[in-house]
Amino acid sequence: MKSTQQYLLPFIMITSLFFLWAFLHNINPILIPHLKKACTLTDTQSALIDFSVYLGYFVMALPAGWFMHKYGYTKGILLGLALYCTGAFLFVPAASERSYLFFLTALFIMAAGATFLETVANPYITKLGDPATAAGRLNLAQSFNGVGAVVAPMIGSLFIFSGIEHSSDELSSMSTEQLQSYLNSEAATVKLPYMVIGSVVLLILVLFIVVKLPDIQETNKDEGKSGFSFRVFRFVHFRNAVVAQFFYVGAQVCVGSFFVRFCKYNIGMGEKEAGFYWGSVAMVGFMLGRFVGSFLMRSVKPAKLLMLYAFISVLLLLFVISFKGSTATYALMIVPFFMSIMFPTIFALGINGLGEESKIASSFIVMAIVGGALFPLIMGKISDLNNGNIQLAYVVPMACLAVVAWYGFTQLKKEAAQPVAGH
């Protein structure tokens, strides 16, 4: 096995990719209220932003896993970066046309690229060292993913939100020309940020072409059964991980995507201020939670910490649903701290002991991210059916995190991967 020092450069380069999909996911809480305004959408329609991103994950996860299985980790990274920057640049014509469908298409392409990056990077990180410390190592890498989670909403608040919010009466009193001018100016604010994003990703792509990374050769005790197939579902711990990840990502997306709406509904906070609080408080908590979680996993079993954090999150969301005022808003901002360890911990527990099959297992766990496409639509529908009561709709992520707590409980006594008897 290679020494830790020999793994250092690959670890640093792969970790840098975690920022990119974090940016994609965590800019959505800004894009959702912004495009809701610029494209005059309902809550349910605005949730299609999340739907487009996570549908991209669902559609591309298996092709990404197949591509990685056939061509290796490095080529998967290059293709992912190429798709990501293409989608970012497409935001410019989408804004010029003020076409919601065009925006959704650009997001889908960015998500396709992020799918390749995430499908490659998560298992790659777990292979760069001792398998016994894989969960802690993945949490450490995901801690830098937290940097993207902080930066994205803050950039969005500064450069995408205009701070101009007209009431429905004010909009109806505008002439057609005034209304179109206002909506077009709102849509145009996304151009510069996404041009910068596309350019940065293009530079990263060039870097990965120049610097050659080693492909890790897998070993598998289950000889003759290490191919790219659905046989991996014979592992109970992996099957449960797919279910848990489906509900976790649904919860994560729901909590963040409607935060700006929740702040306006609950305490009348403006979009710029709410976006700033999401980035500077909630997402800083998310980032710190990753570092704290990595430290705690030195002495606490990952499954135990996962169960405990999920249970605390359920209690916080119950408070958010039940009470009005600033205290409920603060409670909602605390939730990301406890959600921070969930994705990487479920991922690491799910692929534990799978060897070569961890590649296809990674694809299925990434496919489970489609939960982020479905649950926000349910939230939006609940809100629309209750006269815009987005607070009540937070029952959706609360229920999702209860499932995550269940998964943590099921893994408390699991030490290694064991297939279902008879398979």
How far is 131 from 1, CA to CA, in rounded Å? 11
In this prediction, residue 423 carries a pLDDT of 36
Provide the token pair at 3. Answer: 């020494």
| Stretches in the chain below the pLDDT threshold 70 | 1-6, 129, 132-133, 135-136, 139, 143, 214-229, 356, 414-423
pTM for the model stands at: 0.76
In this prediction, residue 108 carries a pLDDT of 96
Letter for the amino acid at 4?
A: T
183 near 40, Cβ under 8 Å?
Answer: yes
Task: Report CA 280 to chain centroid distance, whole Å.
Answer: 18
What is the residue-averaged pLDDT of the chain?
85
* Angle between helix 259-267 and helix 28-38 axes, rounded to 10 deg: 70
Angular region, 145: left φ>0, alpha ψ -120 to 50, beta rest? alpha
Read off the pLDDT of residues 227-244 as tens digits, 9 standing for 90 and up.
Answer: 556 788 888 888 999 999
Read off the pLDDT of residues 201-218 as tens digits, 9 standing for 90 and up.
Answer: 999 899 889 887 766 655
How far is 274 from 235, CA to CA, in rounded Å? 43
Which residues face 235 on adjacent strands? 419
How far is 279 from 50, CA to CA, in rounded Å? 18
335 near 317, Cβ under 8 Å?
Answer: yes
